[in-house]
Amino acid sequence: MRKAFLLAGVVALLLVCSVAPALAQENQSGEEGRLRERLQERWEFLQQRIELIITRFNNNQQRHQQVYERVKSAVGELLEKMKAKGYDVSKLEQDLATWEGMFDEFAQDYQALIQKLEEIAALSPAQAEGNFYSLLREARQLLRVVRQDALEIRLFYQQTIRADIQELRNQLPESA
């Protein structure tokens, strides 16, 4: 009887030793699968957020463009009226050309930001592991550049264009 218990114990021990690694491997592969699923879900969530941000930036770019066009046409009309009355508008024309160049630079930087965000959104989870943070840093740097461009445009209008218009109002027309 003792031998039977001993034999049953040895068989049970062998069985446990052979089954335990298989169960551990199965458990580990199950955990890896769940981990991969969670990473995939998080990446899909991040992609949705990035797409939302891209949409918002596209809408803001259109809004910026509309505001620029309105202000540009209003200043252009004023320029033409002043020119027709005989005012010297050469300085205002030069400053408007500079201002337009600033808007072109702003549009290029804005487009570069949107392209960088689209590049991030197009990554697969495997590609994102190594590149995501570096691309995100680049996008943040581009965002800083875009914001600085917008600030410079606003300040140029407030400090230079308005000053030119005020000088024109204080000036006597040449035809008089």
pLDDT tens-place string over residues 50-103: 899 889 988 988 898 898 889 989 988 988 998 888 888 889 899 999 999 999
Answer yes or no: is pLDDT of 20 > 90.
no
Band (107; pLDDT cuts 50, 70, 90): very high
Answer yes or no: is pLDDT of 136 > 80.
yes
CB crowding 96-123: b at 16 or more within 10 Å, else e: beebeebbeebbebbeebbebbeebeeb
pLDDT tens-place string over residues 160-176: 999 998 988 888 766 54
pTM: 0.72
Q: How far apart are CA 130 and CA 142, in angstroms?
A: 20
Domain assignment present for 4: no
Domain assignment present for 97: yes
Residue 120's identity, in one-letter code, is I
Structural domain including 137 reads 42-170
Share of the chain above pLDDT 70, in %: 81
Q: Which residue has the higher pLDDT, 12 or 141?
A: 141
Q: For the chain, how many structural domains are there in total? A: 1
Residue 26 token pair: 């199965």
Domain assignment present for 117: yes
Share of the chain above pLDDT 90, in %: 35
Domain assignment present for 28: no
How much is the average pLDDT of 143-152? 94
Domain assignment present for 18: no
Domain assignment present for 16: no
Domain assignment present for 1: no
